[in-house]
Amino acid sequence: MGMLCAVSFNRYGRLYYLDPGELRPAVGDRVLVPTDEGTEVAECVWAAQWVSDDTSGFPRLAGLASEEDLRRDEMLRKRKAEAKVAAKRLIREHKLPMKVVAVDCVIESTASGGSNGSRITIYFTAPHRVDFRSLVRDLGATLHCRVELRQLSARDSARVQGGIGSCGRDLCCATFLTDFEPVTIRMAKDQELPLNPLRISGACGRLMCCLKYEHPLYANSGNYPSPGQRVQTPAGQAKVVSRHVPSETVTVRQLSDGSVSRCALADVCGPRRAYDSRPATTTD
């Protein structure tokens, strides 16, 4: 048991959970978060609260942001904006099939006490491999610093940009998913989903990661009768219309009067009610 708080580096961006230590930041406070490139400024979006989980593995806040930290963060954001505008302009001039997704900048102090962007990384997407050597040279000359370009996959691009999925919630990859697991069309078939790319594809254009969440339930659904098969229900003989694996129910149509109802799985395929596996006829 310990305390956790949540911070975000961008408005409506991905949440990061940290151990506040002795600090008690409130919602809206600017805090310092340790990263691989040093401490960065983030906004607290969830005040420190006690949780029942073990918090020993979470990173700890480095402190509250001072005025100097806020000025440095503002300079960093300004530098990123300048680099993004310059990158888009030069990409158009070089006529390259690239789309800028995000810009990362590391600012280091100079000998005079000021700050300057020492390294800028530009993330982009492209339909294929792109020769951007001349673009890198022009970017370096324009921004007066070392520039790196990194191509992102479609899923990594969606993770960086964020967005809203078809479910109405924030994208899984932009909130809590840390690793992308393989998703196949077989998972959609096993869940009896329409194989329409517009229905089963995410914001990245690939198969939705959430297809994998319930797939183990469907993979172990061998005791469910298939649609079209005849079964014995408490109301008499019926034909299976559809099955609902998460709720362990099936929708059936009674052969006697044609009424449609939903029954529990145990009522149609219990130990004493084995369903009829003969092929169903075309007449109802």
Q: What does pLDDT average to over the chain?
A: 84
Tell if the pTM clears 0.75, that is, is over it. no
Q: Is residue 283 very low, low, confident or very high in pLDDT (cuts 50, 70, 90)? A: very low
> Cα separation of 115 and 68, whole Å?
12
Residue 275's pLDDT is 40
Using a pLDDT cut of 90, give the percent of the chain over it: 30
pLDDT at 116 over 60: no
Over residues 224-253, the pLDDT tens digits come to 787 888 888 888 888 888 888 888 888 888
Task: Yes or no: say if 92 and 85 are a contact pair by the CB < 8 Å rule.
Answer: no
pLDDT at 178 over 80: no
Strands 16-18, 30-35: parallel, antiparallel or unpaired by DSSP? unpaired
Domains contained in the chain, CATH given: 2-65 (no CATH), 70-152 (3.30.300), 158-216 (no CATH), 222-284 (2.30.30.140)
Average pLDDT in the 105-117 region? 57
Which strands, in side-by-side order, build the sheet including 249-254? Answer: 230-233, 236-244, 249-254, 260-264
